[in-house]
Amino acid sequence: MGRTSGQVRVRLTKRTLTQPNSPIGAHAHLLDRVPHNKPLLDLSQGAPGFPPAPEIQQRMAEVAAHPDGSRYGPLRGLPHLRDALLDELREVYGSNADLAVDDVCITSGCNQAFTMVVSAITEPGDEVMLAVPYYFNHDMWLQLDGAVPTYLHPSEGLSPSVADAAALLTDRTRAIVLVTPGNPTGHTIEPEFLAEFIEFARSNDVVLIIDETYRSFIPGGRAPHGLFAEPDWRDHVVSLHSFSKDLAIPGQRVGAVVGSPELLTEVAKLIDCVTICPSRLGQEGAHAGLTEAGKWRQDRVDEIAAKQRRFEEVMADKPGGFELLSAGAYYGWVRHPFVDRPTGDVVEALLLEQGILVIPGTAFMPTDEQHLRFSFANADIDRIGELTNRLGDFADRSQR
């Protein structure tokens, strides 16, 4: 059928139409209805609430002012940033980590790292296991790209088990995705569990993708895992990184993939089509952060840990029946007490009645199990205590 002249209608695909809008900013249209006596407590986005280190700001200003500062850069990232990241990885993962610069590719953020890796290793219809609760963009991208997410529910505490992974495995399974420390739970998967997963990946010829965006926030600064010491790690492990959270440059879009050179050759083809290269300014900022802002970086990690302690203190008495299930990195994972109320409604009411903005757990899992994600990292530490009365008041009013 022809269209009436003047009518414009773009034909859209089910692939994108069936995906939700980002849960971040989903309540922006309600922000002017927050009660006047309860100013907004925005615990929604996992973004640093502080500016980057002065060294980072200065380097980016210098590069911006340099005549070559806006040129395209190498596809896999600026060589001096790749070298600096390699040095950092050797320090973090220990001297027995077998890593070389050809294992490192800089990307436009960790999200790009994930998407390009998935596109490089899955055919349409291939399955990828996501540990639940998952990072919502992982689930979305798999579906957008034609892969099929399967859901690996936690067994012991919040860590998934290889026994459950074995039960979910099919001949279409290509990868398992773990995020540690987790978004939305903040939970750190212990190195022993990760070691079991590489064994599993090895014996079933699948890839273990580990999103390590929050690795700087692992308590005690201990090594995230020992997988880079495994002689064949390149055959089974892909590790994803971000400079957004601990260097506070999320808008500069810089991250990295650490994986086999063969995989990175394919990833580079994809990057070439999408962004051509990562932002030069952002990469220089990341380089300054890695090489010049070590103390600043540790101070910010300590600052966020102090916010976590305050949040845990406040939640210890389960204000209003809201129960903290886990906390770490940027996030607290909380169960709300309203069994018969959809979590989306709870989130909206918390905002409209109490000025508290959080993300519903349904953004991170396929079912509604009364979860909420609180991002304490960007909260003002002196205001976290307001949760006691606000959550208590919310529960009182809900019972009336």
Residues that bind ligand PLP (CB under 6 A): 46, 109-111, 135, 179, 183, 211, 213, 242, 244, 250, 255
- Smallest distance from ligand PLP to CB 320, Å: 27
- Smallest distance from ligand PLP to CB 47, Å: 8
Given the complex with ligand PLP, which of 24 and 229 has the nearer CB atom?
A: 24
DSSP letter for each residue of 209-225: EEE-TTGGGSGGG--S-
The whole-angstrom distance between residue 351's C-alpha and the CA centroid of its chain comes to 24
Given the complex with ligand PLP, which of 147 and 254 has the nearer CB atom?
A: 254
- Smallest distance from ligand PLP to CB 373, Å: 10
- Smallest distance from ligand PLP to CB 79, Å: 20
CB 111 within 8 A of CB 255: yes
Given the complex with ligand PLP, which of 181 and 319 has the nearer CB atom?
A: 181
How big, in percent rounded to 5, are the helix, strand and coil portions of the chain? 45, 15, 40
The CA distance from 264 to 240, in Å, is 12
The CA distance from 352 to 35, in Å, is 7
Interstrand relation of 323-328 and 356-357 (parallel, antiparallel or unpaired) = unpaired
CB 366 within 8 A of CB 151: yes
Q: Residue with CB nearest ligand PLP? A: 109
Given the complex with ligand PLP, which of 363 and 391 has the nearer CB atom?
A: 363
- Smallest distance from ligand PLP to CB 143, Å: 17
DSSP secondary structure letter of residue 51: P
Given the complex with ligand PLP, which of 183 and 370 has the nearer CB atom?
A: 183
313 phi/psi in degrees, rounded to 5: -60, -50
- Smallest distance from ligand PLP to CB 357, Å: 16
Given the complex with ligand PLP, which of 215 and 236 has the nearer CB atom?
A: 215
- What are the structure tokens assigned to 94, written together? 């220990």
The CA distance from 359 to 362, in Å, is 8
- Smallest distance from ligand PLP to CB 322, Å: 22
CB 113 within 8 A of CB 257: yes
Q: Evaluate the CA torsion angle 95, 97, 100, 104 in order and state its sign.
A: negative
